[in-house]
Structure 1
Amino acid sequence: MLKFINYIKRNKIKSAIVVVLIVAYYFCLPQKLFKDPNATVITSESDELLGALIAEDGQWRFPASDSIPAKFKACILQFEDEYFYTHPGFNPVSIFKALKSNLNSGNVKRGGSTITQQVIRLSRKGQSRTYFEKVKEIILATRLEFRLSKNAILNLYASYAPFGGNVVGIDAASWRYFNRDASNLSWAESATLAVLPNTPSLIYPGKNQQQLLEKRNWLLKKLLKNGIIDELTYELSIVEDLPQKPYPLPQIAPHLLQKIAKKHRGERIKTTVKIGLQEQTNRIVKQHYQRLKQNEIYNISVLVLGVKTREVLTYIGNSPTDKSHQNSVDIIDKPRSTGSILKPFLYASMLDAGDLLPNALVADVPTQFGNYQPENFNKSYDGAVFANEALSRSLNVPAVRMLQEFGLDRFYHYLKQLGLKDLKHDASYYGLSLALGGAESNLWDLCKSYAGMASTLNHFNANSSQYFTNEFCQPIYNSNESIDFGQLRNEKEIFDAASIFLTFESMKQVNRPEGDDSWEFYDSSQEVAWKTGTSFGFRDAWAIGITKDYVVGVWVGNADGEGRPGLVGVQTAAPILFDVFDLLPKSTWFNPPYDEMINVNICKKSGYRASTICDDTEMRFIQASGKKTAPCPYHKIVHLDATEQFQVNSTCESISKINSTPLFVLPPLQAYYFKNKNPFYKSIPPYRSDCAETTEVAMEFIYPNQQSTIFLPKDFDGNTNNLVLKVAHSKPELELYWYVDNQFIGSTKDIHDMAVLPSSGDHTITVMDELGNVLKHNITITE
């Protein structure tokens, strides 16, 4: 060491030069050899190609791979650099032979470059092939050998070598020329690709086929000679055909590719998509598209999520339509009118808040709130309907009345907690139409929310009745990511498990659309909680289904918003939904979350907690918060005579003969519609003629509603049609007296319909019964 130090002291200039050269050698190689833009590549969860987006420079250049197939590796080494694993980056023997050949011929005949040198040359694109440049390549090649392993250098060559046209790298070449992954190539196909980088501008599939064939077969012969392949493999390989033209790359999930490219341009992303399910769903969408386009319905999107992992299993942003019908638009994340698809959230919110029991009766009668008058899809009314049935049948009027009773701001708060990002206005902007499609949302957020509900229920039952803090998280499509459900705690995140379970139980009962007796053909072979939706003007059709393991969402419509007759969720989206569910493994049904439920006595007729006078009850499990609901308000004690045909009291019958009977009694307007569909409904009997009446009476307008604006059409003769006024009375046998603007117009008995012909303008309708009870309505007439 002392001699070495003394030598440096004696030869300072030489030592300095050596140090400078060493430093220059160390830093001569750029830290990053290749800065070319890459294609964006997405693969399935099993690493199969789903699609690719060409690089920004117009080249099919896949991101560099960390390994190359064994067959191609053997071929490229035999063809380009047989001594690759033994030389230090350059091969002196090959260089000498090339130099001799070039000097003898007077021009460049051979290169003598190793694979390492070729990597350097590829990274220094555009450099002239001179002897000086060759020296640079040798220096840089030796430096590269110090930096990277032999396999890493070989991978760089395979990833950036040109294969003709705008194809760069083995991965892109194998798909473009053979339509499959490089790992699945035969010996003949691998040999074909191995010879292409040698002269990629002169020989590639579709050009100079004979020369390409000769080179390939020469390489196959060498593989046979060196014992890499056997005689049979050789004989079979040389008769394989050459590719004639490039194949288009797979586009199995093109809209997911677009989505990923926005954040990961030029990267290779392994997704969570199951390629088999994606391809089968693509075929289902194509089949339905061929049918729906006959009705000028051109766009379909489908999203399938795994509940337990929150992974995207299938992503179809649009149907295989054409450019004129916006085939490139990814509708999954686009805001669309929700129709009835939010109704289950309202039902779950009311259950969660303890404002509703699962099958409590709710009113289904003509209703008007200011200028807003909701209607059921079939234009009819049930009078009163169980809440769970109202949800399963997607009745609009009960939903709006429930929303009005629950509170618009309260429901809006639940929706904001779900993270529906397209709710960009305050609650008053949407009004009571919020439950019927007055707001917009997108398939991604809706599927995410229903998946969060299913996951909440699953985790509650699996984790000692506790909740995770991050159930309603964003789904993932990158297989390198995983969901963090947060911490376990006793408090719910949004909905309690019992409210979710009871909501899904109601959604499970959806087995046919209103008025469509053929729905049994759509029934799935497994239990599915599902809901459809149809937006105003028939612009959007929805169907979302939930099981323990999967959420499937479907949207059907036109991307430009054009409505079409027949564009109804249950007719267009639901068949696709169940076709997709038929592809999925069958799921068992959710387990009841008994720790969040209580067993109470329920009135069968009203669905409320049974009062002491309910005559038909049963024990049912309800959500724990439902214990604060009121007891049944519809049962009343009615005093009847021995025949039970008349009401009596102490003024006309001895107390010992009075039969005090509990009766199920609806308000007059509800009863008017209810008894039309429930023939066994019994109205309160009239008082016997010799009794003094003491019972309170009630009456309500059936038509028109309060503050209604009514248009009176004209008939073919030009005469204005009458307005028919209708009233429901708890004692229809009483005589009613009718007034328009305090002018008496007539009386009715038993059937309380009155035809009038008021003039245009504002009017007050007054009805008085013979007991002096008065009912008034204000209306506006237009012609």
Structure 2
Amino acid sequence: MKNKLIAFSQRIINWIKTNKIKSSIVFLLLVVYYFSLPRTLFQEPYATVIESKEGELLSAKIALDGQWRFPAQGSVPDKFKKCIVYFEDEYFYKHPGFNPVAMVNAFQQNRQAGKVVRGGSTLTQQVIRLSRNGKGRTYFEKIIELILATRLELGYSKNEILELYAAHAPFGGNVVGLEMASWRYFGVQSHQLSWAESATLAVLPNAPSLIYPGKNQIKLLSKRNRLLLKLNQEGIIDKQTYELSIAEPLPQKPYDLPQIAPHLLQRVAKNQEGSRVKTTIEIGLQNRVNQIAKYYYNQYKQNEVHNLAILVIDVSNRKVMSYVGNSPTDGNHQKDVDIIDAPRSTGSILKPLLYAGMLDDGELLPNTLVADIPTQIAGYTPQNFNLTFDGAVPAHRALSRSLNIPSVLMLQDFGVNKFYEELQRFKLRDISKPPDHYGLSLILGGAESNLWDLCRTYAGLSSTLKYFNANQGQYRTNEFAELNYDDAFQVDFGDETRQKNILGAGSIWLTYNAMEQVNRPEGDEAWKFYDSSLKIAWKTGTSFGNRDAWAIGTNAKYVVGVWVGNATGEGRPILTGVTSAAPILFDVFNLLPRQRWFDTPFKDLEEVEVCSLSGHLAKEGCPTIKELVPKKGKNTSVCPYHKTVHLDKTLEFQVNSSCENMQNIVTKNWFILPPVMAWYYKSQHIEYLPLPPFRNDCMGTQTATMDFIYPKTNSKIYLTKNFNSEVQPVILKVAHSQRESKLFWYVDKVFKGSTKTFHEMPISATTGFHYITVVDEFGNEIRRKIEIVKE
């Protein structure tokens, strides 16, 4: 055998040497034949298709040429394979791309009819014809198809040729390809088709006009049943299957494609137009979140709130588990807008990042008292949502209650530029203007961000804490990686390192503990009393004018983000984060498996003694408690509010050596807040004791202090009228450290009266600028400039 091959090869070489021109022509023809088949057989655009992680169709967008043409799926269901082969090309697995017998029979029939009535084309030839955009059915074209079909057979397997046919065959109207036809006519994926449904689709490319609903039903039924009979006669299906199949009805009306994640489809189409993308969406969860979105939309639209968005993230891998970009509203209310990526005013949603940043930088401890008093800073006057003041509040309570004034004062201490740089490290894209543009309003919604970036940020924080605890105090260099919706993509979290990425695990854990204490929505107020209560760290936000309602929550496994509002930016009085977004947040979390709370990151915390009243590091004489704080927390300031005072034996008066024997003087450490802070603080804390006054027989400097409660510095006061159109007086208020002291009031150096105990003074003044002066009985004086104007 080997000698025969050698001899044959030698004859070919000799022939080439003696027939150089002929051999060159043969070689050239072979080269032309080899390159005759285009590298890409089909140039048509495809529909954009997204599937769930389980392979279920979520949504699809029509191809750019207006055809419903799905990208090839990679395999053809066995039922359809058998149906199409037995109907179109019984010898498909045996011929080299063309069937000479079928071609001869077709030639004879066409000649007898005087026109082309039968093609005799194989499935391979039909693939070539489809790729050539259905050129005329001439004999010359048949020759070209034949040549290209043989070339296709040499370069592709039989299964690959069937895949090309199934993906590009016409199925009536603008439906192209088996996968789209399965959804359009039967509402299922192609691998779920029955024998009758597969047979129906197998006969359609031969006569796609038969599929029009309500027409040609008899012809279509006859074709389908003849194919089913053939399959039964060939032993492909048994008698019972055949009888059940011919009893199945034909499709009567086209089905709509699933629209389970239409806004994620928009997002995919921006970068992957014409692709089939298997996403990270869990279809069961997505369907249930869609139901929640529909329920709340139907509730909120009655109050003219028309849009909402929900995002669910797996913390461990940053995969998007559910993506609801908008409510099921209508075109008049921007139903096609993807809110998840839209910049919206942040409200209070950034407050945990400021709190964590200050903890991490050693500028704050969890229980440090922060002022909560009427405040004006460079003309900016923040207000708490409920328009009340606590005087002073622990920092973690200020966060859990989302108090605005303490947050602004904390930002002032931390620095706007410094906080802005921290937000840039979190890659919040929409916070893109210079820090001076935002000022202190940055913490109260003066900036914009989007649900995608915010959920990514909180997922990064949760993952930082979880990884630190699970890996002996290690961090990862790319912990704040981008979120991912492509199931084939694996996120690279970078290398392990001892260096924190943005925030340390200790400050994140303390922040989450504060966020876990946020009051729950209506109906879940008693959550703290139940061990089974859902435990999450969460935060709400409401923008100015009630235009945006936010709620973002996290545990060790999941992050859920919710936005509610109007895409047009129209505000509604009832729209708040707690009442509108939070109920959705908790309903979504209740769909997810319960998770244990974060472990304590002891490697990034230290136990210190802090003052139990002020929350500062304790100094001698302070009542103390032990508290876990970030390592830099050891460098914060010691308690400034405990002072040593000398009292008589009754503890009712301050004394000194001028009025009391030294052996009778009692020395105590007294908790003393500044006057305005104390004035509001004592209304919330009945245990707060003001500093006792000096006994009348004592000499020496009095330590009394006072400050204005109202008006604020350089404030503009508007005169109001009652129902009788009478101009009402302006009520001035002062806080004094010794409540019983007598105060004397002056307006523009004119005496207006005195007060004792309750330091409030009504004054009637003309419009314009005035100077208010208050002097106490010890000679202490305070002054304030105001402007009075008419409404």
Q: Per the shorter chain, which TM-score range? A: over 0.9
| Contact map agreement 1:530 1:543 (CA 8 A) in 2 | yes
- CA, structure 1 residues 202+421, in 2 after alignment: closer, same or farther (shift >3 Å)? same
Greater mean alpha carbon deviation, residues 773-782 or residues 602-611: 602-611
Match of 2:27 in 1: 19
Following superposition, the deviation at residue 718 of structure 1 comes to 2.8
Q: Which digits, 9 at most, give the CA deviation of each residue in 1:681-726, with x for residues without a partner?
A: 1111222333335452211101011111111112233322111111
From 202, 215, 218, give the equivalent of 1:207.
215
Greater mean alpha carbon deviation, residues 423-432 or residues 632-641: 632-641
Match of 1:713 in 2: 720
Following superposition, the deviation at residue 521 of structure 1 comes to 8.2
Match of 1:594 in 2: 602
Greater mean alpha carbon deviation, residues 349-358 or residues 228-237: 228-237
Following superposition, the deviation at residue 641 of structure 1 comes to 2.5
Greater mean alpha carbon deviation, residues 472-481 or residues 158-167: 472-481
Q: Which digits, 9 at most, give the CA deviation of each residue in 1:99-120, with x for residues without a partner?
A: 2333333333322211101101
State the alpha-carbon separation in 2 of the partners of residues 694 and 231 from structure 1: 112
State the alpha-carbon separation in 1 of the partners of residues 10 and 446 from structure 2: 89
Tell whether 2:685 aligns with 1:667: no
Tell whether 2:70 aligns with 1:59: no
State the alpha-carbon separation in 2 of the partners of residues 426 and 598 from structure 1: 36
State the alpha-carbon separation in 2 of the partners of residues 695 and 63 from structure 1: 87
| Contact map agreement 1:507 1:529 (CA 8 A) in 2 | yes
Following superposition, the deviation at residue 204 of structure 1 comes to 5.0
Greater mean alpha carbon deviation, residues 516-525 or residues 295-304: 516-525
| Contact map agreement 1:177 1:205 (CA 8 A) in 2 | no
| Contact map agreement 2:52 2:278 (CA 8 A) in 1 | yes
State the alpha-carbon separation in 2 of the partners of residues 602 and 571 from structure 1: 36
- CA, structure 1 residues 82+426, in 2 after alignment: closer, same or farther (shift >3 Å)? same
Following superposition, the deviation at residue 192 of structure 1 comes to 1.0
- CA, structure 1 residues 356+587, in 2 after alignment: closer, same or farther (shift >3 Å)? same
From 528, 536, 549, give the equivalent of 1:541.
549
From 731, 734, 738, give the equivalent of 1:731.
738
Match of 2:749 in 1: 742
Match of 1:162 in 2: 170
The AA in structure 2 aligned to 1:155 is E
Aligned positions of 1:629-708 closer than 5 A: 629-692=636-699, 694-708=701-715
From 613, 616, 620, give the equivalent of 1:612.
620
Following superposition, the deviation at residue 517 of structure 1 comes to 8.3
The AA in structure 1 aligned to 2:36 is C
| Contact map agreement 2:196 2:246 (CA 8 A) in 1 | yes
Match of 1:772 in 2: 779
Match of 1:488 in 2: 496
| Contact map agreement 2:527 2:533 (CA 8 A) in 1 | no
State the alpha-carbon separation in 2 of the partners of residues 387 and 330 from structure 1: 36
Match of 1:83 in 2: 91
From 756, 761, 780, give the equivalent of 1:754.
761
State the alpha-carbon separation in 1 of the partners of residues 738 and 297 from structure 2: 56
Tell whether 2:294 aligns with 1:286: yes
| Contact map agreement 2:694 2:702 (CA 8 A) in 1 | no
State the alpha-carbon separation in 2 of the partners of residues 653 and 109 from structure 1: 127
The AA in structure 2 aligned to 1:87 is H
From 527, 548, 562, give the equivalent of 2:535.
527
Greater mean alpha carbon deviation, residues 20-29 or residues 388-397: 20-29
State the alpha-carbon separation in 1 of the partners of residues 600 and 125 from structure 2: 68
Greater mean alpha carbon deviation, residues 729-738 or residues 251-260: 729-738
From 491, 494, 497, give the equivalent of 2:505.
497
SS of 2:562's partner is strand
Aligned positions of 1:281-430 closer than 5 A: 281-430=289-438
The AA in structure 2 aligned to 1:176 is R
| Contact map agreement 1:687 1:693 (CA 8 A) in 2 | no
| Contact map agreement 1:203 1:211 (CA 8 A) in 2 | no
Superposition TM-score, scaled by structure 1 size: 0.97
| Contact map agreement 1:170 1:182 (CA 8 A) in 2 | yes
State the alpha-carbon separation in 2 of the partners of residues 568 and 476 from structure 1: 29
SS of 2:228's partner is helix
Match of 1:193 in 2: 201
- CA, structure 1 residues 624+305, in 2 after alignment: closer, same or farther (shift >3 Å)? same
Match of 1:627 in 2: 634
Following superposition, the deviation at residue 286 of structure 1 comes to 0.5
State the alpha-carbon separation in 2 of the partners of residues 366 and 280 from structure 1: 46
Match of 1:565 in 2: 573
Following superposition, the deviation at residue 491 of structure 1 comes to 1.3
SS of 1:727's partner is strand
Following superposition, the deviation at residue 264 of structure 1 comes to 0.7
Q: Which digits, 9 at most, give the CA deviation of each residue in 1:221-246, with x for residues without a partner?
A: 11111111122211211111111121
State the alpha-carbon separation in 2 of the partners of residues 558 and 181 from structure 1: 36
Match of 1:45 in 2: 53
Following superposition, the deviation at residue 348 of structure 1 comes to 0.8
State the alpha-carbon separation in 1 of the partners of residues 289 and 520 from structure 2: 23
Unaligned runs of 5+ in 2: 1-8
Tell whether 2:211 aligns with 1:219: no
| Contact map agreement 1:735 1:747 (CA 8 A) in 2 | yes
| Contact map agreement 2:339 2:567 (CA 8 A) in 1 | yes
| Contact map agreement 2:675 2:705 (CA 8 A) in 1 | yes
Following superposition, the deviation at residue 657 of structure 1 comes to 2.7
State the alpha-carbon separation in 2 of the partners of residues 266 and 2 from structure 1: 52
| Contact map agreement 1:303 1:332 (CA 8 A) in 2 | yes
Q: Which digits, 9 at most, give the CA deviation of each residue in 1:63-85, with x for residues without a partner?
A: 11211111111111111112111
Q: Which digits, 9 at most, give the CA deviation of each residue in 1:501-537, with x for residues without a partner?
A: 1111100000247xx7874589993211000000001
Question: RMSD in angstroms over aligned alpha carbons?
Answer: 1.6
The AA in structure 1 aligned to 2:769 is D
Greater mean alpha carbon deviation, residues 142-151 or residues 16-25: 16-25
| Contact map agreement 1:69 1:183 (CA 8 A) in 2 | yes
The AA in structure 1 aligned to 2:563 is W
| Contact map agreement 2:210 2:220 (CA 8 A) in 1 | no
State the alpha-carbon separation in 2 of the partners of residues 512 and 593 from structure 1: 26
| Contact map agreement 2:300 2:306 (CA 8 A) in 1 | yes
Match of 2:5 in 1: none
Match of 2:137 in 1: 129
State the alpha-carbon separation in 1 of the partners of residues 70 and 524 from structure 2: 50
| Contact map agreement 1:163 1:204 (CA 8 A) in 2 | no
Following superposition, the deviation at residue 203 of structure 1 comes to 4.2
SS of 2:205's partner is helix
| Contact map agreement 2:509 2:601 (CA 8 A) in 1 | yes
SS of 2:30's partner is helix
From 112, 127, 150, give the equivalent of 1:142.
150
| Contact map agreement 2:210 2:219 (CA 8 A) in 1 | no
| Contact map agreement 2:690 2:738 (CA 8 A) in 1 | no
Greater mean alpha carbon deviation, residues 190-199 or residues 289-298: 190-199
Number of aligned positions between the proteins: 780
| Contact map agreement 1:511 1:520 (CA 8 A) in 2 | no
**Could you tell me the percent identity over the aligned residues?**
58
Greater mean alpha carbon deviation, residues 768-777 or residues 532-541: 768-777
SS of 1:329's partner is coil
State the alpha-carbon separation in 2 of the partners of residues 233 and 695 from structure 1: 104
Unaligned runs of 5+ in 1: none
